[in-house]
Structure 1
Amino acid sequence: MLKRKSWLGLCIVIGLIFALISPTISLSQSLPTKAAREIRGVWITNVDSDVLFTRDRLATAIKDLRSLNFNTIYPVAWNWGYTTYPSKVAKKIVGSSFMPKKSAGILIGRKLNKNEGLAGRDVMQELVTQGHKNGLAVIPWFEFGFMLPASTDPAGSDFAKLHPDWLTQKQDGGTIWKEGKDPRVWLNPFKPEVKKFIIDLVVEAVGKYDVDGIQFDDHFGLPSEFGYDSFTVNLYKSEHQGQVPPTDYKNEAWINWRADKITLLMRDLFKAIKATNPKAIVSISPNPQTFAKSFFLQDWAKWERQGLVEELLIQVYRDKLTTFIGELQKPEVKLASRHIPVGIGILTGVKPKPIPMQQIQSQIAAVRKEGLAGVSFFFYETLWKLTNEPAATRKDGFRQAFARSVARSSIIK
């Protein structure tokens, strides 16, 4: 997702200006009926949040969410080149079976004490056990997809160093891509060994835990300036009578060729998930379609049409309500909503820029007015902690929005 420091420049112009320029939608007019089904989710991260790093803190968070009538959690399972759960697949490829305490401390901005961290625990099992006990669906979120931290990142794994031939390149041979201030590199989704790693990682989680599904976001793709490594160039040449790829990385045919290859990978992944656990839904949380395809080669509208997506949560991190609503009314959104639950990702804040509850409530109401399947919030820590408003005020705001408990929207019966 477009997160961390890079979120700041993309989505935050808030406060009094918003109140003056945005139309008003009454929340009370849009509350669900007793028969309604609605996704009420939240992404749980291990960045700027320590909720995953002690059992008690995690259990309290889940109880709080249940008390406010949330029904879904999307806990991070894969980021910074590590899993958050004990993984034999990661151990074999990365050299570590889960994120070590040092890296976790860097991501939350402080050193973890001796009672914190992932060692000696199975956080995903805790999430599943506590989540289901409290009536919450648990859908692990493979946040980083094909993205990795650059080898210079102190919080990152040694993945990029261990498998440099797995990385793709820009035209100049460079591998670094900036997400805000953070240097990233990208695994080559067209290479068989990369495909196998991603599929094995996901299948491991779906087979090991009683999860309700899995989720990928905008990082399950590739920035369009990449794909000029020798493997991908030779693959392209083999399918185009020896012609090399266009130098214009935004060339439509070149975009489509790479996007279609990622669609094929999505098909193989979907089949592998269903072969392992037919009841696990495949959820994605991409950017709006036009940007997703041109920027990340992620043609999610095609995925949906091919039956490869069972839940869609579109990241619409916009401040101005009219702009927000415009994204909800796009034809591809309406088309997808005829086939599967389509919800909207709403920004509740990022450190250090909070989002006011008024904006959050107005966006929830807009989603309901458009007849969409629900919402998920980015991210847990900004629901009622990293905010300028009192925690009690924030909780009251969500209690008002989710006045009664409802089952989540789902394609799986």
Structure 2
Amino acid sequence: MELNDKNDKIWEFIKNHEQDNPAQLVLKQKLFPDLPLKEIASQIASRQKAKTKLPEWYAEKVWFPPKLSLEQCSSEPTAKFKANLISGHSFADLTGGFGIDTFYLSQNLSKSHYVDQQEELCELAQYNFKVLNANIEIHHSQSEEFLNSIQKPLDWIYLDPARRGDRNQKVFLWEDCSPNLVELLPLLFEKAKNIMVKAAPMQDISRAITELENKVKAVYIIELKGEVKELLYILSKEMVKNPEIQTVQISENGIPIFSYRGDKSKEAESSIDYELPQQYLYEPSPAMMKAALFKQLAQDFQLSKLHPNTHLFTSNEIKEDFPGRVFKIIGQSPVQKKELKKHLPEMKANLASRNFPMPIAQLKKKLYLKDGGKHYLFATTLKNEEKVVLICKKDL
């Protein structure tokens, strides 16, 4: 079925069956002989996932890609956040894919290009951009071919290199991604004033910067709903000794709720105190954990750390604006069921492990601990190497 053949009858069917099980729907082809049920079922499966990830596109008659492409694309909030980082006249997304980033990034520029080597995705983007009234030029081309065709440097180039290898396995080194960003760097700097690159949250930031010949001036660690969603690298034509590292927690509208800036040089020069647990316990947010700016965090919020390898902080005065979770410490116990029960008679709590030599599942079994309740337990190692369970409450 051609994209321009997606008529009102098909859309009405999709709307009426959007909650159905796609696998079961395919088996009903005989009941609907005039409809391409296999394609429609695939569409419904994608729309079910897109409902929360891409609500604005879900509300339109947008045709979604297969599930894998949808999983790899940016969410609406992260795309909106990135759009606020760029400005100027011209922009190109060299890895257009489904087109989410292209669509939102293009809204702040007057001339936008979508580039992708897959013809099917180009056709899909062409159809969807028309539905969304987006003025974006489509290029079915390899990244390098498109760059060589440019006469005048663009204000911004954006890339989200594919992070799956030949056998569909996940990869994290730039040289293993497609396109190979390391090889493409000289041409990118020749053709653009500014370059933004998206990477997977699990990528090693220090190694990624080194691979890019230290031509990174800023790194953004984007957190949404308590999870690091992506890393962004803003590149520089010149070498940068200490790129800025910025953690950003964003809302569902892509608006920053909290941000924190630092760099590895300042981190190396900073000092930190180690103390036994005081009145309050601080657990850094996932973005702060990824940034690993623990000494700067401790200095800025006047906190002490429990142990060099325990990324938990403590203080006697509450720091309510701390970027992460804050707990009131109400007790401390050895890692023994009998002792813990004195503090927690119901033996029901939310258990976390931080720098502790026993897996969570094994520890729960050892303590006969049930999940849930209002108490939070942290099995951890203190500065004197003692292994303990900290008993906390969140309602400060």
TM-score interval, smaller chain: under 0.3
* TM-score, length of structure 1 as denominator length: 0.25
- Structure number with higher strand proportion: 2
Structure with higher RCO (Cα < 8 A, 6+ apart): 1
- TM-score, normalising length from structure 2? 0.26
Q: More helix per residue: 1 or 2?
A: 1
Point out the structure with max Rg over C-alpha: 2
